Amino acid sequence: MGKFEIKTDKSGKFRFNLKAGNGHVILSSEPYATKADCEKGIASVIKNASIKTRFEKRKASDGSPYFNLKTSNGQVIGASEMYSSIAAMENGIVSVIKNVSSIKEKRSKRNSPNFRNQKVYLSKEVNANKKQVELTQKLNHNKTVESKNIKPKPWIFKGTYFKENPKSTSIDSKNTYDIFLPLFEFLNFRQADIAKILDVDVSTISRWGQSNVELSPLQLAYLLRIERIVSDGEQVFGSKDEFKDWLFSNNITLGDKKPVNLLTDPFSIELVEEVIDALSWGNFV
């Protein structure tokens, strides 16, 4: 499935690229002064790519064929790479049409009433989990924590994880360290990363290994929060591989940082949640 990516050039201008499912750039824009203008350019591509007459076939000075995508008034909104043959250029046009169509279809599903209802359903479910954690914290407020002194971390469930048939996720259903090992592996988390998230020493994580050590309510809440981000990201991007590629790429909206590097910080993780939430409603960030 295709996707749009917005980047800044050396002069600080904004440009977008349309990438095919294999990551190959099949259409690029001219520079825009603002990100908002760049997003309007993307919207224009989505609007015009389904109209074959909007593709202008041209030849460079060296004879290499390429094409431009234009609006109804003749304004160029995207240009292809140089191709080795006319047949290759024609395939490039087909690829743009196909990938933009897949993006439009996905946006249509996200805007469907059923999809929005699922979002509301999970928001209620997450709020219930949050209240349960807060209640557990209150009951244990005067108790001695035998394992380690866990410092409180701020956390918020956004409720942006949805499935076709959502199931209730109890805060008590996943309460041991070993259950989250596949999540750590997917995110390429080192022991130092995990220790930072759980607010324990690296030596503690090393000692835990693959054991079924019971997590505190705050530790569990934070890990479930990350798990929801991954689940939501898979839904938005269509696959875990596509989402992982986004996680490990620098993102302009996040200060040109890799989203995965922000998941270990309780103050920065909310930024990642907000970006994914925006993506789920068709914004390009």
The string of DSSP codes covering 266-277 is TTTHHHHHHHHH
How many CA atoms lie within 13 Å of 251's alpha carbon, on the beta-carbon side? 21
81, two tokens: 């790479």
- The sign of the torsion formed by the CA atoms of 77, 83, 86, 91 equals negative
Q: What is the pTM of this model?
A: 0.47
Q: Three-state SS for 82? A: coil
Beta bridge partners of 79: 28, 68
pLDDT digits (tens, 9 = 90+) for 79-131: 999 999 999 999 999 999 998 988 877 766 555 555 444 444 444 444 455 45
> What are 212-238's pLDDT values in tens digits?
888 888 888 889 899 989 988 888 888
Q: What is the Cα–Cα distance from 75 to 222, expressed in whole angstroms?
A: 48
* Domains along the sequence of the chain with CATH: 3-107 (2.30.29.80), 113-280 (no CATH)
Instruction: Tell me how long the chain is.
Output: 285
Q: Which amino acid is at 28?
A: S
Q: Tell which wins on pLDDT, 141 or 61.
A: 61
The C-alpha atoms of residue 104 and residue 169 are separated, in whole angstroms, by 31
In whole numbers, what is the pLDDT of the chain averaged over residues?
78
